[in-house]
Chains A and B, each alone.
Chain A
C-alpha cells in the first residue's frame, strides 16, 4: 500500500473519532476553511507522499482493500479548481464571492451577489428583505381589519406581505429581523472552540440556475494550509454537510453567507468573522470521484476525488492534496463558531429559527389579525418556502423528478427516531418537470451494473485500477469493467471518456435496454375504450363528449403506426365493435349473456388504428347518434371489463372505462352502501375500500397481463368509487371524477383531461425498483402500482403525471460512510416500441446531527409524504384518527425542534416564552398540515364530503407529484382585481407572470377585490361583495353587473377589448398549463349562497360544519401541545 493511502486504510472503523458523537458524519455546515478537513484524516494523505504515490501500480490495491468499500469521502478540495471541462460527479455551488477566493477558479461562476439574485429561484437565496419569517417592526401596523387591501404587493423581496408584520416588533429576535441580518447564521453565536462536530463551513450559494459548477481545488502554491493543530482537531471530526469553504485560501474571516439556505442569502458581505457557521447545506460529497490511476478515489484524499480537475499546473501534485483538507485556512480559534457545543448537541443559528409570536388568547384580537404573522405558503416568499433545498450533488436529479423529504440521511436509527417527519422521496420518473433526460445506447458493452446489488453505473461509482474495475457506490463491491466499456483514467482518476458518457455525468439518464431486459417483444400500445351507453351517459352528454374527444385525439395517440384500439360499449349487455382493416364501418356484435362472456371474432376486435382509421372514425361519429335514444339504466360494468380484458390481455395496454352510473348488472355490481352513520365507528374505513372483491381480483389479473385501467366516473349519484377506484390504484391508472357530469359545464374539463391522458408521455409494461445504500431499505410505497416483490413495483402503464413515493427505513442501527445513495430504475417500453430504462441516482449526505436534518428539510416533499401516508392510512382507520396522527407528527417534529433550539439556541434575545419556534425550512409545515386535514380526502365526517369525492381526491393525492399536491393542501389565492403589477402578461421567457397571492382566508381578501383561487382541481373566481361594476364590465362583458347571479357568469373566453379579461384568462391558462387535471373555472360572489361551496378552499378559515379550526386556533392548539409535555 502506498504510504499516502495510509490514513484511509483504517476506514471504516478506525477513522471514527473515538470520542465523537458517532461515526464520522457529514454535518451541515463547515467552517469555510476547516471543513475541508477530511474527517478521517484523508486530507493528510496526499501530503505524506509524493504525487507519484497516488499513482501506484494498479495492482497494488486488491479488491479487498478496505478503502475500496465504496465509502466515499466528503469534503474535498476547496481550492480553486483547474479547468474542468465538464461537470463531473459532484458539483458545488459556487462560492458566494468569498473575498479571498482565488480568481483562478475558472470553473466557478462568480456567484452573483446574493442580493441581486432573483428571489424566486428555487433553492436559491432570497435577498434579505424577502424573508417572510421574522416579524418586523414595519409590520406592526397591520390594520386591524385584516389586510384586506391587496395593494401592490410586489412579489419581490423587499416588501413582505403585510400580514407578516403583524407581530409586535418587540418579539422579534434581534437577529432575525428582515433587515440586514447577520450575514452568517452563526454570527449570533458566541465564538468558541471548534469542535469536530461544529466545524463550521462556509456555505456557498448555489450556482446560477442551469450552470454547472465544480468545486475548485486549491492550486498549488496557494496559501492556506491548515494549522496542524486544526488538522488534528478536525481529522477525526465528522464530515460536514456543507461545502468546504470556497477558496481554500480564503481567510477565515469573511463571513460567508450560509449557503443554500434561503435565509442565508444576504451576502452578507458582512465580513462577520464567522468563518464557519454551521451551515452550509451543500457540502460536496466526494462522489464520483474518479480515482487516480492505480488508486481509487476512495483511497485517495478526498480532495481530488471531488471530481474536480486537478489544478492545471500541479497535476496530481500538492495541489491535489492541498486542495482538500489542507488548503483550508485555519480558523482562528476565537472565531470559529463552535461552540456550543458538545458533540451531538445541535447548535442552531438564529437565522434557522423562525420565531412566531403567539398572541395570548383572550386579548380580543381578531384571529385573522393574530394569524397574520404566521408563516404560510402564500404571499411574498410563499413559493420559496416550499422549494426544495439545493441539491447535495449537482448530479442529483432535478426536483421535478425526485424530491426528498429531507435531503440528508440520519446516521443512526436513534437519530431517525427523533426525526418525526417522514423520511423518504417522491419520484416522478417520467415527469416533464424533470427536464430532458439523455438517452444512452450502450451497444455491445451492455448496461453496466454492479454484479452484486445490480445498481446501474452512475456518476458516483469510483473507477479503480486504471479503469479496469469500479467500485459500486451502493454496496461497495468491486466489479470488473467490461472490455467494451474500458477507458483509461486521467491523472485525477476520471475516465478519459467522461465527456461522452452521460450516464457518468448525470443523475438522470435513460438507457436503451437490450434484449435481456425483455420478457417478450415490446407490445404495441393498445387502447380499449369501454363506453357506458346507458341512459345516464347519453343524456348527460358524456358519450358524445368522449367520442368527440377521442375522434379529435386520434392523431395524438402514441405508437405511430402500431397503435391498436378497440371499442366496447355496455348497458345491461355488452357490445363489441369489429374493426376490420379498410372497412368503412364497424359492425356491432352484442353479447346478451353477461354471466357467460365470450368474445366473438377475437381477432377483429382489436384493430390497428392506422389500418382501421376509417372504421374507427365512422364508429365514433355514429355512436352518439346510434345510442341517442338509449333508455337502459342498468350498467353491466363488470362484464364489460371482463370482455375488454379478454380482448386485450395478450398485448396489455390501457383500458379506459367511461362510467356514468353505479355498476348494477353482473359481476362487480355494487350496493348503495354509502352510509354516513358508520363514521366514527370501527367500520368506518370499510366505506373507503372496495366492497366487492371482484375489483381487486380484476386488478390483480390485469396486473399480470400489463393492463392499466383508467376510470372516468361521471355519475350524478353514489357510484362506489372506492370499488371502481381500486382498479386504477393497483394498475398505474388514474381516477377521474366528474360529479353530475353535464356536457355544457364539464365538457371542456373532460376534453382537456382525456386529451392529456391520450397524448402525454407514456411508458408501457413497466417495472420499477428503488435501491438504497447499505443500511437503508425502502419500507413502504405510495402510489398507483402493484407490488410484485418486496421492492419491485409493477406498472402496466406509467405516465408523466404519476409520482411514486417511498419511505426509507434504517436496516442497520448505524450507517457507515458519509454519503448514501438512492437509485430508482424504471424499466418500460416507450411508446415508440423501444425498451428503455430510466435511472435516477441521488446522493445524500449522512448526517449525525438532528439540526442538519431540519436544515435539509424539504417542507413541500415532507408534506406530500405526510399526505400520501395519511390517505393510505384512511383506508384502514377512522378519519379522526388519521387527522390526530397528522397533528401528532407535526407536533412531535416541532417539539423536537424546540428542544433542539432551546439546547443550542443562539437566538440572541430570548423569544417570548410562548412564541412558536419553527425550523426555517419547515416554517410552512403547520399551514400545510392544517390544509391537509381540510382536504376533501380527510376533512370532517360523513356529511361533509361524499365518499366518491373523498376517494377521487385521495387518489389524486396518492399518485400526484409534489407540486400538484401542495396546491391541493394550500390553494393559491391570486389577487386579480388590481392591474397594477405586471401579472398576466408573458414575461421574457414566454411564461405568464402570476399575480401576487394572499393567504387563503376570507379575512385577507378585500371585499372590493377579486381573487382567483386555484386548488389544482378547480379554479374559482371569488368576487368581493363590494367589487365595483367596472370589474364586472371588463371581465364579464358589458351586459353583466353586480346584481346578476354569478353562477351565470363565465370569464371565458376573454372579452374582446378588455385587457383585464385577457390577463385573467392568460393567468387561468397558465395555471392549467400541462396539468393532469384541468381546472374548470367557477364564479362565486361573496355573500351569495354559493359561497358555502368555496369555504373549504379558504383553508385558513374555520369550517364550522366539519369542526375544522381556523389557522389561528390550529396554531394555538399546536403550540399548546408543543409546550405541554
Chain B
C-alpha cells in the first residue's frame, strides 16, 4: 500500500471517530432538552468524551499538515483554533475550567446554545468527512490505476454497465 493511501485512511478513521463523538454529544443535549436524561448523567457523558473530540480533531490537523495536505488541513485547523478558544482558560485557570466542559449546575441555562453549537459542528464535521472520504477514494483509485489496475477497473466498469441493461 502506498503511504499516501495510509495517510488518508487514518484521516478517515479519525474523522469518523470525531463524527461519532459529536453525534453522541448532540444526542445527549437533545435528550436533555426532552427530559430523557438527567443533568448529572448528561454532563458526565459529555465531559468524558469532549476532550477526545478536541484531541482527535487537533491530531487530524497536525497529521494532515505533516503530510503536506495543506488544503485539506485548513478546515481542521480552523476547528482546532475554535477549540483552543473554547478551552482558552486552560492555561490560566487549570484544566477544569475550560468552557468545553459542561457545568452540571448550569446545564439548563446552556443547553440550547450548546446544542446549537453541537449541531453546527456536526454539519462541519460531516462536510469535512465527505471531503476526506473523497480524497481517500480518489487516492485509492489512483493507487489502483496501475496497468493491472486499469484492466481491473475497466472490467468493473463494463460489468457495471452491463448490469444496467
Contact = CB atoms under 8 A, between A and B. Distances in A.
A788 B36 CA distance: 11
B159 interface: no
Given A696-B103, A700-B40, A704-B40, A790 B108 contact: yes
Contacts of A697: 104
Interface of B: 33, 35, 38-40, 43, 96-97, 103-105, 107-109
A780 B109 CA distance: 8
Contact of A699 (B38, B43, B105): B105
B39 A788 contact: yes
A872 to B, nearest CB: 9
A693 B35 CA distance: 25
B92 to A, nearest CB: 10
A1068 B108 CA distance: 43
* B38, B103, B107, B108 pick with most chain A CB within 10 angstroms: B108
A825 B38 CA distance: 20
A897 interface: no
Contacts of B105: 696, 699-700, 726, 730, 786
Given A693-B103, A726-B105, A786-B105, 17 more contacts: A693-B97, A696-B103, A696-B104, A696-B105, A697-B104, A700-B39, A700-B40, A700-B43, A700-B104, A700-B105, A730-B105, A780-B109, A787-B39, A787-B107, A788-B39, A789-B35, A790-B33
Contacts of B38: 788-789
A786 B104 CA distance: 9
A697 B33 CA distance: 21
B35 A790 contact: yes
21 contacts: A693-B96, A693-B97, A696-B103, A696-B104, A696-B105, A697-B104, A700-B40, A700-B43, A700-B105, A726-B105, A730-B105, A780-B109, A786-B105, A787-B39, A787-B107, A789-B35, A789-B38, A789-B39, A790-B33, A790-B35, A790-B108
A93 to B, nearest CB: 40
Interface in A776-814: 780, 786-790
Nearest to A696: B105
* A696, A697, A700, A780 pick with most chain B CB within 10 angstroms: A700
Contacts of A699: 105
Contacts of B40: 700, 704
B115 to A, nearest CB: 12
A623 B132 CA distance: 70
Contacts of A730: 105
B58 to A, nearest CB: 23
B129 to A, nearest CB: 32
B102 to A, nearest CB: 11
A787 B110 CA distance: 12
Interface string A692-732: 01001101100010000000000000000000001000100
Contacts of A788: 38-39
A678 to B, nearest CB: 13
A478 B27 CA distance: 34
Contacts of A790: 33, 35, 108
B63 to A, nearest CB: 32
A786 B107 CA distance: 10
A691 B43 CA distance: 19
* A699, A704, A780, A787 pick with most chain B CB within 10 angstroms: A787
Contacts, number: 29
B4 to A, nearest CB: 45
Interface residues of A, number: 14
Contacts of A726: 105
A874 to B, nearest CB: 15
Contacts of B109: 780
A796 to B, nearest CB: 13
B99 to A, nearest CB: 12
Interface string A673-700: 0000000000000000000010011011
Nearest to A726: B105
B145 to A, nearest CB: 55
A800 to B, nearest CB: 25
* B38, B43, B103, B105 pick with most chain A CB within 10 angstroms: B105
Nearest to A731: B105
Nearest to A792: B35
Contacts of B104: 696-697, 700
Contacts of A696: 103-105
Contacts of A780: 109
Contacts of B35: 789-790
Nearest to A686: B93
A132 to B, nearest CB: 40
Nearest to A872: B109
A693 B105 CA distance: 11
Contacts of B39: 700, 787-789
A363 B38 CA distance: 63
Contacts of A786: 105
B126 to A, nearest CB: 28
Nearest to B97: A693
A930 B39 CA distance: 38
A674 to B, nearest CB: 16
Contacts of A789: 35, 38-39
Contacts of A787: 39, 107-108
B17 to A, nearest CB: 28
Contacts of B108: 787, 790
A876 to B, nearest CB: 9
Interface in A141-162: none
A789 B39 CA distance: 7
A699 B104 CA distance: 9
A780 B43 CA distance: 20
A663 to B, nearest CB: 17
A730 B109 CA distance: 14
* B35, B38, B39 pick with most chain A CB within 10 angstroms: B39
A726 B106 CA distance: 12
A789 B35 CA distance: 6
B108 to A, nearest CB: 4
A790 B29 CA distance: 12
- Return the 7 tightest CB-CB contacts between A and B, nearest first: A787-B108, A789-B35, A700-B104, A693-B96, A730-B105, A696-B105, A700-B105
Nearest to B44: A700
A726 B35 CA distance: 25
A704 B109 CA distance: 19
B41 to A, nearest CB: 10
A914 to B, nearest CB: 42
Nearest to B92: A683
B141 to A, nearest CB: 50
A366 B97 CA distance: 52
Interface string A725-764: 0100010000000000000000000000000000000000
B49 to A, nearest CB: 18
A789 B36 CA distance: 9
A889 to B, nearest CB: 20
B32 to A, nearest CB: 8
A780 B35 CA distance: 16
Contacts of A700: 39-40, 43, 104-105
A1034 to B, nearest CB: 53
Contacts of B96: 693
Contacts of A693: 96-97, 103
B10 to A, nearest CB: 35
* A697, A699, A786, A789 pick with most chain B CB within 10 angstroms: A789
A786 B105 CA distance: 7
A778 B98 CA distance: 30
A325 B40 CA distance: 55
A1026 B33 CA distance: 64
A726 B38 CA distance: 20
A700 B97 CA distance: 16
A465 B21 CA distance: 54
Nearest to A692: B96
Nearest to B104: A700
A647 B40 CA distance: 22
A1055 B38 CA distance: 59
B46 to A, nearest CB: 14
